[in-house]
Amino acid sequence: MRKQIAAANWKMNLSVSEAEILLDQLLASEHNLSANQEAIFAVPAIYIPLATQKLAGKNNVYVAAQNCHPKANGAYTGEISAPMFASVGVKHIVLGHSERREYFNESDAFLAEKTNAVLAIGSTPIFCCGEPLEIREAGTQNSFVEAQLKNSLFHLTADQITKVVIAYEPIWAIGTGKTASSEQAQEIHAYIRSVFATKYGQAIADQISILYGGSVKAANAKEIFSQPDVDGGLVGGASLIASEFAAIINALK
């Protein structure tokens, strides 16, 4: 059975006191994770020790980094490597978020290097893909997303690819006033799985968790997560509200 995952992406938000309050509120909320479910908190790097301490001992709950540098060490001022994150207990690292691609010009080749770095330390990459509005309007989203996946991930072995979590972001549905339906989410998730099936076989593709990252909220999470190829969500704004994210965790199938 594939892992069902509710992943919070705090992005560049919250003071340390606000982060502590949010974690305390989430810990006080009612949510029970079954054996195949995980809750992951991708917090700003400076808050990783706090989150790790707060969430210690919680079953199937993990702290993630929002990014990493592909090199293990060196003269890269301001950067943090995958081994550094591993040394403080981080087991998941988000890679290729649309904001990293857009604002920091991260290429598919650069993300392939990052993926290698994360897998090399035994951690789980949460690899983001997705198309902007102009690509969706042109109807070429499938080939666009397929190219992202092929260029960054298809050098991996079958064993390695099963250790990667995919997060599909419909960039066109974030902050544009447009809404992605659960049917649209299922359609692109099924296509992504078919891309992996063509390369690695259906049995391998069926092991890969594919998360939806398009403005998931408590109000729509259950419907979106009920789709057969949607295995949870990568949640932005709603993850900053304890009651919202607790409800999203409870919406996992």
92: phi then psi, degrees, rounded to nearest 5: -135, 140
Helices (H), the chain: 16-28, 48-55, 82-87, 98-104, 108-120, 133-138, 141-153, 158-161, 182-200, 202-205, 218-225, 242-250
Report the first-to-last Cα separation within the chain, whole angstroms.
Answer: 11
Whether 97 is catalytic is yes
Residue 166: how many other CB atoms lie within 10 Å: 25
CA 238 to each of CA 6, 12, 95, 136: distance values in angstroms, whole numbers, following the listed order: 11, 14, 20, 24
Q: Classify 82 as helix, strand or coil.
A: helix
Tokens of 53: 């301490």
Selecting among 38, 99, 106, 169, the annotated active-site residue is: 169
Tokens of 17: 């006191």
Selecting among 97, 99, 131, 244, the annotated active-site residue is: 97
In whole angstroms, what is the distance from residue 170 CA to residue 49 CA?
A: 31
What residues act catalytically?
A: 97, 169
